[in-house]
Structure 1
Amino acid sequence: MELISVVIPVYNGAKTIRETIESILQQTYSHFEVIVINSDSTDRTLEIVSSIQDQRIKIHNYPKANVAINRNRGLTHAGGEFISFLDADDLWKPDKLELQYKALKENPQTGVAYSWTDAIDEQGKFFRPCSHAIWKGDVYAKLLLDDFIGSGSNAMIRSDTFVEVGNFDETLTNAEDTDMWLRLAARYHFIFVPKVQVFYRISANSKSSNISGLEVSNLKIIEKSFANADAALHYLKPYRVANLYKYLSYKALSVTPGKQNTIQATRILLQTVMTDITILGKPIIYKSFLKLLILTILTPSQATLLLNKFPQISNISTFFGYIKTH
């Protein structure tokens, strides 16, 4: 069997790191190494990881840095023919490594395998479907429109592809995985496993909750990607920007009452309209402004009661239905 390297960057992940590592140790494909990049954690992360008795786990301690830097640090220690990354709060189904490895072996022309992803909440309970894409082969144009991989914890990558595309962009504090998928898709074919195997945890403190950071990093990636893309694909750029703001609108309003940033959410919603005027013909945009109004004028407890009573107002996942994917 060929070795698979699993890289886990972690900073203060004591609440979830044991469960995350256990989801690796339960894999049906057993010939792997777990490379934990501990980024100067100040909680019990190091103690917890050190207590897990498995010789396949290797811990490396580094000064605090962003995820891109820590993933690159992990790559310097990886000895496997295949690489997978797993965030310290995400989980895998037991057959994740086996089926992605099989997909790559059966499709030697491909460089990346991905699976379907569902989102879970802070308690590990199902939250919503995240990404159930079925794109394969040359997926570059699809990825220019939308990051359908769904999570940095998803893909399995042939290790030699990094020689061609380079490592993660360390200037990006968010969406560094989106940038990597695009660079890989520009050179290699992708294959998918039609099964939910990745659970992406959504929490108030997760990196994906940083709306401003997501916006800045994604706009930078969009500019860079389309600057490098064939001119025939440039017509996709306005659709990609519109997709971004629909996603950010969902993120900005999927918050606990009292935690919203009203000015930011208003700006993001207006940008959604400006980048796709057709959204004015859809109920979702008016429901979103109504939800924002409720979050703004009512107390957190009042808003919670009202939104729980009328869940059709609270749920704004319809935004995903208007993201252009082809």
Structure 2
Amino acid sequence: MKNNAKPLISVIIPVYNGEKTIRETIESVLHQTYTNLELIVINDGSRDLTLNVISSIKDSRLKIFSYQNAGVCMSRNRGIERAQGQFISFLNADDTWTPDKLEAQLKALEANPQASVAYSWVDYIDEYGEFIRHGNHIAINGDAYEQLLIQNVLENGSNPLIRRQALINTGIFNESFTLAEDWDMWLRLAKRYDFVTVPLPQVLHRASSCSVSTNILKMETACLKFIEQAYKYAPKSLQNLKRKSLASLYHYLTFKSLESPSGQKNGAIAIKFLANVIWNDLSVIIQWQTMSEALFKICMVFLLPPQQYQILKIKLKIFFSRRQKVMG
């Protein structure tokens, strides 16, 4: 696509100590098929070689701004202040996009002028960029508020392309919802604007044992706080969905805890989370595949030494990855 003087899309990457992944992340933006963009990297007080890595990348579209450490919410908000594009997208420092992500989302918004947010599907990769599993792959076109109240359909902060004016009207990222700030933003957008889906897995979310997302108990606290706040302002007609939201959260946390380094502590946490799933949604009991997979992993955590459990996890990951690819 032809470049104009003013970038049409602004991409914002907040990064803190991301020397191992930031180059791959940045290159996934600079190699987009849609080229009329600016890339704003907010260096959030990194203490490793992150700034050196970023500075070594030569591209006129790349803009680097360094601040003292203030967290991902403040970094995204600082990026919004500097953005010049008519559309804005965010990318975590350890995630990547497929080359056609921005072009496909922009086309979706242009074809649906009533929508202000375009999102794609998510797949999960490991620390080495290898496929782990598919995400939820849920398609919503139009009013996304009810479904986003139940679960974060967009799954992470690296997903949507948003009309600038809609983002400004909605307000900044809420710093009181650390670890749930993206879910909060998407829900607030959905309260005012329509969404449109690009039904393709274009966002690759890195599931790393070292990333902040593995701090399961902090994530639980943050998400519970967010759910309470969300239902405080939700219509009376949707209040009955709260337990479904809690079940969805604990379903996610159950499997997230089992992706973390093994140990009986993780197994105990997973049991607690699974009990909360059942408590909030009894229908999960009849979902035998989900239940059996969770129970099997929990048993293995308790029965196997950590090293053997890690080997088993790798073998299971390869098996389920191949099965999912075959099944599409």
Equivalent of 2:164 in 132, 154, 159: 159
CA positional deviation for 1:282: 4.4
CA positional deviation for 1:219: 1.2
Residue 128 of structure 2 aligns to a residue whose secondary structure is coil
Q: In structure 1, what is the equivalent of residue 51 of structure 2? A: 46
Structure-to-structure mapping, 1:1-326, within 5 angstroms = 3-258=8-263, 261-283=266-288, 284-285=290-291, 287-304=293-310, 311=316
Q: In structure 1, what is the equivalent of residue 324 of structure 2? A: none
CA positional deviation for 1:215: 1.1
Deviations 1:251-286 (A, max 9, x none): 112234348524322321222222123334444435
- 1:274 counterpart letter in structure 2: W
Moved more, 76-85 or 293-302: 293-302
CA positional deviation for 1:294: 2.6
CA positional deviation for 1:306: 5.7
CA positional deviation for 1:93: 1.2
Moved more, 214-223 or 282-291: 282-291
- Structure-1 separation of matches of 2:265 and 2:30: 38
CA positional deviation for 1:297: 3.9
Residue 6 of structure 1 aligns to a residue whose secondary structure is strand
Q: In structure 2, what is the equivalent of residue 323 of structure 1? A: none
- Structure-2 separation of matches of 1:49 and 1:300: 36
Moved more, 137-146 or 176-185: 137-146
List structure 1 segments (4+ residues) > 6 angstroms apart after TM superposition. none
C-alpha contact (below 8 Å) 2:247/2:280 kept by paired residues: yes
Deviations 1:115-160 (A, max 9, x none): 1111111100111111322111011111111211122111000111
C-alpha contact (below 8 Å) 1:173/1:213 kept by paired residues: no
CA positional deviation for 1:28: 1.3
Deviations 1:169-198 (A, max 9, x none): 011220211010000000000011122211
Moved more, 54-63 or 282-291: 282-291
Deviations 1:64-99 (A, max 9, x none): 122111111111111111100011111111111111
C-alpha contact (below 8 Å) 2:140/2:197 kept by paired residues: yes
Moved more, 124-133 or 32-41: 124-133
- Structure-2 separation of matches of 1:122 and 1:110: 34
Q: In structure 2, what is the equivalent of residue 319 of structure 1? A: none
Deviations 1:17-54 (A, max 9, x none): 11111111111111111110001111111001011111
- 1:134 counterpart letter in structure 2: A
Residues 280 and 109 (structure 1 numbering): CA distance in 2 closer, same or farther, change over 3 Å?
Answer: closer
User: Quick one: percent identity of the two aligned structures?
Assistant: 47
Residue 160 of structure 1 aligns to a residue whose secondary structure is helix
- Structure-2 separation of matches of 1:257 and 1:128: 19
CA positional deviation for 1:291: 2.7
- Structure-2 separation of matches of 1:304 and 1:221: 33
Structure 1 gaps of 5+ residues are 316-326
Residues 119 and 304 (structure 1 numbering): CA distance in 2 closer, same or farther, change over 3 Å?
Answer: closer
Residues 5 and 304 (structure 1 numbering): CA distance in 2 closer, same or farther, change over 3 Å?
Answer: closer
C-alpha contact (below 8 Å) 1:9/1:88 kept by paired residues: yes
C-alpha contact (below 8 Å) 1:253/1:260 kept by paired residues: no
C-alpha contact (below 8 Å) 2:258/2:267 kept by paired residues: no
C-alpha contact (below 8 Å) 1:252/1:260 kept by paired residues: no
Alignment root-mean-square deviation, CA: 2.1
Residues 259 and 107 (structure 1 numbering): CA distance in 2 closer, same or farther, change over 3 Å?
Answer: farther
Q: How many positions carry a matched residue from both structures? A: 313
- 1:196 counterpart letter in structure 2: P
C-alpha contact (below 8 Å) 1:174/1:217 kept by paired residues: yes
Residue 243 of structure 2 aligns to a residue whose secondary structure is helix
Structure 2 gaps of 5+ residues are 321-328
